[in-house]
């Protein structure tokens, strides 16, 4: 089975993608290849950040790899938090603070339209390929649900009356931004492995 590094140590992201590629590819994390430092995300777009991470891993470890950058864009906040989604409230990965800031910023604003976006940069046999996934929805006025991570407790995808945090992993993967981008990645890998 061919190996592919996912440039993350985020266990939630790894589990989501592993479920999608199970049996097709042996997915490795940064930890699995001994990469323990943070990779600076200095890009101004999701595509830039995904590319920075995949190029860093490929050039250092000489292995096929992919990286993603994802985030939440809220219309009423002019696209914020965007590329700063993970550190919107200051500290990287403080989900409670990030959700709190979003709810405070929106307050009673009736425009709660939002979207999650994922861009994947895959470096496969020396060539870079991009895959994008988007899911539209809205921001709830309060947290709801215990599963998922990040903004999942405040994000309700269009066509559903529950948040990502109230869905099973399988339900979320079937419609999520990352799930849609990974589906395109998997299709590519099927044709090229």
- DSSP codes of every residue in 99-140: HHHHHHHHTT-S--EEEEEEEEEEEETTEEEEEEEEEEEEE-
Q: Is 151 annotated as a binding residue?
A: yes
Q: Is 129 annotated as a binding residue?
A: no
Distance (Å, whole) CA 110 – CA 106: 8
Q: Is 11 annotated as a binding residue?
A: yes
Q: Is 181 annotated as a binding residue?
A: no
Distance (Å, whole) CA 85 – CA 50: 14
Q: Is 134 annotated as a binding residue?
A: no
Q: Is 149 annotated as a binding residue?
A: yes
Distance (Å, whole) CA 166 – CA 179: 16
Q: Is 70 annotated as a binding residue?
A: yes
Q: Are strands 155-157 and 127-139 parallel, antiparallel or unpaired?
A: antiparallel
Active-site annotation holds for 48: no
The one catalytic residue in 32, 69, 75, 158 is 69
Strands ordered across the beta sheet of 127-139: 26-28, 3-6, 65-74, 113-124, 127-139, 155-157
Q: Is 32 annotated as a binding residue?
A: no
Q: Is 172 annotated as a binding residue?
A: yes
Q: Which residues are annotated as a binding site?
A: 8-13, 40, 69-70, 149-152, 172, 177-178
Catalytic residues: 69
Q: Which residues are annotated as a binding site for substrate?
A: 8-13, 70, 149-152, 172, 177-178
Q: Which residues are annotated as a binding site for Mg(2+)?
A: 40, 69
């Amino acid at each position: 089975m061919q190996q592919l590094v996912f440039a993350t140590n985020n266990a939630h992201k790894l589990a989501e993608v592993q479920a999608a590629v199970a049996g097709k590819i042996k997915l490795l994390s940064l930890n699995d290849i001994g990469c323990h430092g943070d990779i600076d995300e200095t890009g101004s777009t999701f595509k830039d950040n995904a590319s920075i991470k995949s190029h860093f891993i490929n050039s250092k470890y000489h292995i096929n790899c992919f990286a993603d950058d994802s985030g939440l864009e809220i219309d009423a906040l002019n696209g914020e938090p965007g590329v700063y989604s993970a550190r919107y409230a200051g500290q990287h990965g403080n989900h409670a603070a990030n959700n709190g800031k979003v709810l405070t910023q929106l307050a009673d604003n009736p425009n709660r339209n939002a979207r999650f976006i994922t861009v994947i940069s895959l470096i496969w046999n020396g060539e870079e390929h991009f895959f994008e996934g988007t899911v539209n929805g809205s921001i709830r006025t309060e947290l709801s649900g215990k599963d998922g991570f990040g903004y999942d407790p405040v994000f309700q995808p269009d066509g559903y009356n529950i948040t990502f945090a109230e869905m099973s992993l399988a339900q979320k993967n079937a419609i999520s931004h990352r799930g849609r981008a990974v589906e395109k990645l998997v299709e590519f890998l099927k044709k090229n492995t």
